[in-house]
Amino acid sequence: MERESGRAGGRRERTPGASVDGRRERTPARAVPVRLGQTYEVVIDRLGFQGEGVARVEGFTVFVPGALIGERVTVRMERVERSFARAVLLQVVEAAAERVLPRCSVYAECGGCNLQHMSAEAQLRMKKQTVLDALERIGRFPKEDVRAWVRDVIPSPNVWQYRNKVTWTVSVEDGRFAVGFVEEGSHDPVDTDDCAIVPEHVLRIVRAMRRVDEAVRGADLSAASPERGDDTLAASPERGDDTLAASPGQGAGTSTAMLSPWRGVHHVRVRTNGSAEVLIALLVETGVVFSPEDVRLFRNELEAQRVKVVGLIADDGVAERVMFGQPQMEERIAGLTFGVSSRSFMQVNPAQAERLYAEALALAGLTGTQRVWDIYAGIGTLTLMAGRQADSVVGVEIVEEAVSDAQMNIERNGMHHVRMMLGDAQDVVSRLAEDEHPDVVFLDPPRAGCEKRVLDAICDAAPARIVYVSCNPATLARDLRILADRGYAVDVAQPLDMFPQTSHVECVVSTYRVD
């Protein structure tokens, strides 16, 4: 039917979603076809960014963690929103060929890994697709260009027991000590000393903590005075104190939680190196002090568990206090020696990190004559590696402890043409650009990516090439779009499997300035 002209006296036909007076009508919301708590059988047609299965119920999106493409599964809706729902996997009715048996005994409860049910080959395909989707959807780059840039994912040499750093949550509640990664969707730790991605010698630290907890509680409970009641603690002759050090805000024990030597500890952070040495940091509430006897007990138990401890640190978020040993440990990467402290950043998969840095350097095309800036330099790992192939290198980092580590690493490796600068990336880059212009800039930001002001400052310095190292495809794609709008074109995107058994993927992208 033709629409009438709308002249005076004529009749105007309404278009869908428009009212007679020209204002827009709201399109009635489509009814959600699923109900909270109800059970459904669905077929998974794709995977989401976090590796969860994605199904459709009457066109409505349902996310199903633990399900794989092509599987027919029974699920229960645990969260229903207007545009999507999340469901719990109850049963795999028809399994995909890529499904494998998870190696970890607490995989179903723990939030540390989310892809152990997926074969190694399928994980690599999923991670490549994650990068492709991010560049196309978030970066708004043409599909044909993205397919040409993105290479196959480089697999990790080790897919189990590969992590050189771990941070566990500690809980002392209701008389129960627990330590581990947190449960999926909660803040409670999964109490276990079984973790398939952490080296065995690191897991022994959990066992040592548990044995010390049991020993101290047993001694203190037996020392309680019956005449005074079980809720008052007497002195412990074995410990040599006349009081128990209490957590801030707590008095002497009405709760068995207070008997634990780990009261006031909320996390434990462990680093290890290629020599199986460990650096342990207990992250504590302000004011928490460990008795010398508790420290001695822990040290003895670590020795009994054959753990080679470089140092034990108490960290309240303001200052670190070394309880014994050293505040740093050494690691060898690609023929260079690095000292790293507890708070400083270093890639968690050392074997794959060497490949990552080799790819970044190859994409940079260094020939020994270039001036290089390394932004978000951390302890100077990539900074020093670039120093072997460049005329001069400046590393920029905002974390004071990391800069201190990096400066010592420069001295360790005798690279006097490399220097570090402490401060906000934009401020330092703007100061540097007053005196020099880089040929190559490396970017290796945290998961949140780069602030636009930092990218603008780098583009203003006009390097010929920017090499971006990212652990988050979404923020990588966003930042590449900013660089593209400032005249930088992508030529290669190389994903690497830095975090096997998880949905995370590392990616190195090379961009060049378009003249």
pLDDT in tens, 341-384: 999 889 999 999 999 999 999 999 999 999 999 999 999 999 99
**Given this structure, which CATH class describes domain 149-156+346-513?**
alpha beta
What is the average pLDDT value for the chain, to the nearest integer? Answer: 88
Mean pLDDT computed over 266-280: 97
Q: Kindly indicate the confidence band of residue 29, based on its pLDDT and cuts at 50, 70 and 90.
A: low
Q: What percent of the chain has pLDDT over 70?
A: 87
pLDDT, residue 17, reads 46
For residues 476 and 489, the answer to whether their CB atoms sit within 8 Å is no
Q: Do domains 149-156+346-513 and 165-329 have the same CATH topology?
A: no
**DSSP letter for each residue of 3-55:** PP---TT--PPPPTTB-TTSPBPPPPPPPPS--TT-EEEEEEEEE-TTS-EEE
Radius of gyration of the chain (CA): 28
3-state helix, strand, coil in the chain (%, to 5): 25, 30, 45
Residue 221: pLDDT over 50: no
Mean pLDDT computed over 306-319: 96
Residue 251: pLDDT over 70: no
Decide if 471 is catalytic. yes
Residue 305 in marked binding region? no
Q: Kindly indicate the confidence band of residue 245, based on its pLDDT and cuts at 50, 70 and 90.
A: very low
pLDDT, residue 174, reads 76
Enumerate the domain spans of the chain: 39-99, 149-156+346-513, 165-329
Task: Pick 16 or 28 by higher pLDDT.
Answer: 28
pLDDT, residue 449, reads 96
Residue 222, CA distances (Å) to 238, 247, 255, 349 in order: 11, 21, 15, 45
Q: Which range has the top average pLDDT, 176-185, 228-237, 315-324? A: 315-324
Beta-carbon contacts of 174 under 8 Å, excluding residues fewer than 6 positions away, are 257
Residue 40 in marked binding region? no
Q: Kindly indicate the confidence band of residue 228, based on its pLDDT and cuts at 50, 70 and 90.
A: very low
Residue 357 in marked binding region? no
For residues 90 and 74, the answer to whether their CB atoms sit within 8 Å is yes
Among 110, 113, 459, 471, the one annotated catalytic: 471
Closest listed residue to residue 331, CA positions, set 373, 407, 375, 279: 279
Residue 324: pLDDT over 60: yes
- Fold category of 165-329 in CATH: OB fold (Dihydrolipoamide Acetyltransferase, E2P) (2.40.50)
The CATH number fitting domain 39-99, selected from 3.90.1170.50, 2.40.50.140, 2.40.30.10, 3.40.1390.30: 2.40.50.140
